[in-house]
């Protein structure tokens, strides 16, 4: 594992760049047609989150995540979705931080499906709190499966990204 | 793969298995289905779907917006809504416990629950 700690302007630039990439992916994905089950999507922007947690560390990843979630809600014009994304994003970030301790960087792809499941769980709990009913939990099994598949996809993409970036540094 | 990786993989597979089992159970038909419509956690209406004669519709409106509900024997749907995403309209008819219709912007939930004696007692 080669990790170079960037400080000051270098770190700021890298954070800004990754936030911009995540936000762009997020906005492009928002243009795709919605899945038949409400709340289900690929969550491609999480490729950046997974990469950041494992390579840059939890703190930097959290900053990128918060900026992306907030700006994503602003740019998509749907502030009402902010709380769902925030709840899902923060819960999956917590899980990624835990998994970072037990998994190696070669197994990074495995952490993403778990994060995906918890992302959807967080969203669903936010919806349950917002609607004041547990009825929405009937969606949980669908969202667990969807989060797992979407997470597997973003995880493999993040794994490929780590591999490419290492080649780039050599 | 390391031990930790295997444990994570096993947990994932277990979660997938449980989810599939729950989905299979939800798909079972409910005897005497009752559509329970609630907003912001408060039950507005309970419609025993087996007792619906002719199809009818009604509008639910409040300061957050309006939803037009369509009821037929054994099933229910949202036919019109003034929200931007139209998730509840796109979902179409529901008739079993698979998944409730949820309108997040209007905080509206329509779920199918089992009726039968317990429901009659509560309604009576």
pLDDT, tens digit, 9 for 90 and up, residues A18-60: 999 999 999 999 888 777 676 688 989 999 999 999 999 999 9
Confirm whether B100 is domain-assigned. Answer: yes
Q: Are B14 and B54 part of one and the same domain?
A: no
Global pTM exceeds 0.90: no
Tell me if B102 and A127 make a contact (CB, 8 A cut-off).
yes
pLDDT in tens, A80-124: 788 889 999 999 999 999 999 999 988 999 999 999 999 999 999
- Residues B95 and B112: beta-carbon distance below 8 Å: yes
Give the total number of structural domains in chain B.
2
Which two tokens mark A99? 């998994």
Confirm whether B122 is domain-assigned. Answer: no
Confirm whether B120 is domain-assigned. Answer: no
Interface test with chain A among B22, B28, B104, by most A beta carbons within 10 Å: B104
pLDDT above 60 for A136? yes
Q: Are B49 and B83 part of one and the same domain?
A: yes
Q: Is B30 exposed, middle or buried (0-12, 13-18, 19+ CB in 10 A)?
A: middle
Q: Are B23 and B40 part of one and the same domain?
A: no
Q: Are B12 and B69 part of one and the same domain?
A: no
Domain A3-169 maps to which CATH number in 3.40.640.10, 1.10.1760.20, 3.50.50.60, 1.10.3720.10? 1.10.1760.20
Q: Are B57 and B15 part of one and the same domain?
A: no
Please tell me which residue of chain A has the smallest CA distance to B37: A135
pLDDT tens by residue, chain B, 124 residues: 788 899 999 999 999 999 999 988 887 777 888 999 998 888 998 999 888 889 999 999 888 889 999 999 989 999 999 987 788 888 889 888 778 898 888 889 999 888 654 454 454 3
ipTM over 0.85: no
Q: Are B47 and B103 part of one and the same domain?
A: yes
Q: Is B9 exposed, middle or buried (0-12, 13-18, 19+ CB in 10 A)?
A: middle
Q: Is A126 left (phi over 0), alpha (psi -120 to 50) or beta?
A: alpha
Q: Are B14 and B48 part of one and the same domain?
A: no
The torsion of the CA quartet B47, B52, B58, B60, rounded to 10 degrees, works out to: 10
Confirm whether B119 is domain-assigned. Answer: no
Three-state DSSP at B30 gives coil
pLDDT score at B124: 39
pLDDT above 90 for A132? no
Contacts of A113 in chain B (CB under 8 A): 12
Contacts of B104 in chain A (CB under 8 A): 38, 80, 84, 127, 130-131
Tell me the average pLDDT of chain A. Answer: 89
**Shortest CA gap B33–chain A (Å):** 15
Tell me if A111 and B26 make a contact (CB, 8 A cut-off).
no
pLDDT score at A45: 93
Q: Are B38 and B70 part of one and the same domain?
A: yes
Contacts of B109 in chain A (CB under 8 A): 131, 133, 135-136
pLDDT score at B97: 78
Print the domain residue range for B61.
34-113
CATH of the domain at B88: 2.60.320.10
Please tell me which residue of chain A has the smallest CA distance to B108: A131
**Shortest CA gap A96–chain B (Å):** 12
pLDDT score at A6: 67
Q: Are B57 and B85 part of one and the same domain?
A: yes
Pick from A34, A131, A142: CB nearest B99: A142
Tell me if A38 and B42 make a contact (CB, 8 A cut-off).
no
Pick from B9, B19, B111: CB nearest A141: B19
């Amino acid at each position: 594992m080669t990790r170079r700690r960037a400080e000051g302007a270098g770190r700021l630039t890298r954070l800004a760049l990754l936030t911009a990439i995540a936000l762009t992916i997020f906005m492009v994905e928002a243009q795709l047609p919605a899945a038949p089950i409400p709340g289900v999507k690929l969550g491609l922007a999480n490729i950046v989150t997974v990469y950041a947690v494992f390579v840059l560390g939890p703190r930097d990843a959290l900053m990128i995540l918060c900026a992306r979630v907030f700006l994503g809600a602003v740019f998509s014009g749907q502030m009402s979705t902010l709380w769902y994304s925030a709840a899902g994003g923060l819960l999956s970030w917590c899980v990624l931080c835990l998994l970072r301790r037990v998994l190696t960087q070669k197994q990074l792809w495995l952490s993403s499906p778990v994060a995906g499941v918890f992302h959807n769980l967080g969203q669903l709990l936010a919806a349950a709190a917002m609607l004041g009913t547990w009825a929405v939990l009937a969606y949980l099994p669908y969202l667990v499966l969807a989060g797992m598949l979407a997470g597997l996809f973003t995880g493999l993409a993040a794994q490929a990204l780590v591999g490419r970036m290492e080649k780039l540094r050599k | 793969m390391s031990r930790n990786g295997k444990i994570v993989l096993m947990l994932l597979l277990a979660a997938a298995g449980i989810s599939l089992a729950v989905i299979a159970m939800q798909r079972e038909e409910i005897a005497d289905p009752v559509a329970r419509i609630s907003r912001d956690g408060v039950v507005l209406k309970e419609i025993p779907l087996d007792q619906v004669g002719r199809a009818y519709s009604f509008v639910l409106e409040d300061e957050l917006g309006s939803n037009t509900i369509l009821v037929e024997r054994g099933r229910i749907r949202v036919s019109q809504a003034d929200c931007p995403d139209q998730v509840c309209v796109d979902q179409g008819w529901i008739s079993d416990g698979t998944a409730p219709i949820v309108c997040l912007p209007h905080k509206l939930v329509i779920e199918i629950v089992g009726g039968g004696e317990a429901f009659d007692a509560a309604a009576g």
